[in-house]
Amino acid sequence: MSGKRFLRQGVLTALSRNLPQTRIIKLVVEYWQKELYSDIGNMYIFLEVELNRMDKIFRSLRHDQFVRVITLFLHSPFLNVTKSVNKSGMLCLVLAPFFLSLPSYAASGGAYAYLFPPKGNSFYLKANTVIGHPRKHIVTEEDTLLDIARNYKLGFNEMADLYPEVDAWVPPPGKELVIPTQWVLPDREMDGIVINIAELRLYYFMKKMRMVRTYPIGIGRQGWRTPTGSFRISTKRVNPAWYVPKSLQKKYNTAVMPAGPDNPLGDYMMNLSNSDYGVHGTNFPWAVGRLVTHGCIRLYPEDIKNLFGYVQIGTPVEIIYAPIKFGYLSGSIYVEVHRDIYKKFPDFEGYGHQLLKEKKLVGMVDMKKFEEALVHRDGLPVNITLSDDDSIEPADQFSDSASDRMGGS
């Protein structure tokens, strides 16, 4: 049996028998022993695609948990202790506790596997540039959209754009909401940070591992727009003082604001080279997912602390403005469309059709679904693959109407 057929059969068996954790552990051990892949990166991708494909059968199995466990195992210090230790046996020991202790890794800022198409390819069947999974949430008496967004590592905009009719402060208790914890990756494969202003989201690519982390952000308001361009992380500071721009010194009655609860930089700051801007925390978490800054990029306090630990001085940073993104998952084509928050495209629909041509996807997508996505602009990744019967089954049978436009995985 070929490597891929072997793995697919193992996944199907685990899912159909309702014993995913036990079966998957055994499966990976066998997979490792047979050395069916010389490149562990290929194993990441194939596992993610296969588990994603089978998600309808058994939704409680989180492929992103599995990928994280593999990653931790590969970089575990145990592997350097002795070469006589059987790798498959060690893998079992490492996998078991993690499967029991990671109830919801995707919602905790975890890393996701990805695979971009080869350069020059408009469509690549094995490409995997749609990460995460949509989820659902039942509103409680204590909930606000702001709290829900933060609890699921989303910016306020991601919930507000999806539910413009819902009162952000008093959402109706008992209402079932689709939580948009799925994203199309920006078309920028690099080893570093990509910030997409249009969707208010940051992506930290770990290219060697083909893994990516993503965080919601707050950006510059009108008149103080966050700039696009190429930068590097020039300095990193803990408990940073804020050197107030001259134009704001009268407003704040100071030239330097020391670290503390009134400092809008929060506890961590990473400056961008050749600019007055930076990536930092905040003393006002509800600013994440909003146009509120003087051009800098704000993260939730817990997110900047996490990102700060990974990013090194000199890390490349690319800031882009891409309200429309195309991605690929399990052989399907997705589009994710956001509002043109900085009003850069007078003919937004024309811009979308031009991108479709540039990606050489004309004739491969359901134009009705594509047009609907251009109209809604709510940030949901939508499966627009052209099917034989001109209809695409939604992947997630949530009760909310938002899920009706979401493609299957």
Give the catalytic positions in this structure: 280, 296
Element (H, E) at 56: none
151 vs 104: CA distance, rounded Å: 12
Tell me which H or E stretch contains 232.
strand 229-238
**Using CA atoms, how far apart are residues 103 and 270, in angstroms rounded to an integer?**
31
Q: At what angle do helices 40-53 and 63-74 cross, to 10 degrees?
A: 160
The secondary element (H helix, E strand) that includes residue 97 is helix 87-101
The alpha carbon of 384 is separated from its chain's Cα centroid by a whole number of angstroms, namely: 20
| SS3 label, residue 24 | helix
CB 295 within 8 A of CB 220: yes
Q: From residue 391, how far is each of 44, 182, 382, 407 by CA, in Å?
A: 31, 22, 13, 11
Q: 269 Cβ partners below 8 Å, 6+ apart?
A: 235, 236, 237, 240, 278, 279, 280, 281
β-strand 193-196 against 316-320: which pairing, if any?
parallel
Nearest to 112 by CA among 89, 128, 97: 128
Backbone angles phi, psi at 394, to 5 degrees: -65, 145
User: For the stretch 118-137, what's the b/e string if a residue is b when 16 or more beta carbons lie within 10 angstroms of its beta carbon?
Assistant: eeeeeeeeebbbbbbbbbeb
Q: Which residues contact 32 (CB under 8 A, 6 or more apart)?
A: 87, 88, 91
Name which of 345, 334, 338, 358 is nearest 406 in CA terms: 334
Instruction: Specify whether the backbone of 213 is left (phi greater than 0), alpha (psi in -120 to 50) or beta.
Output: beta
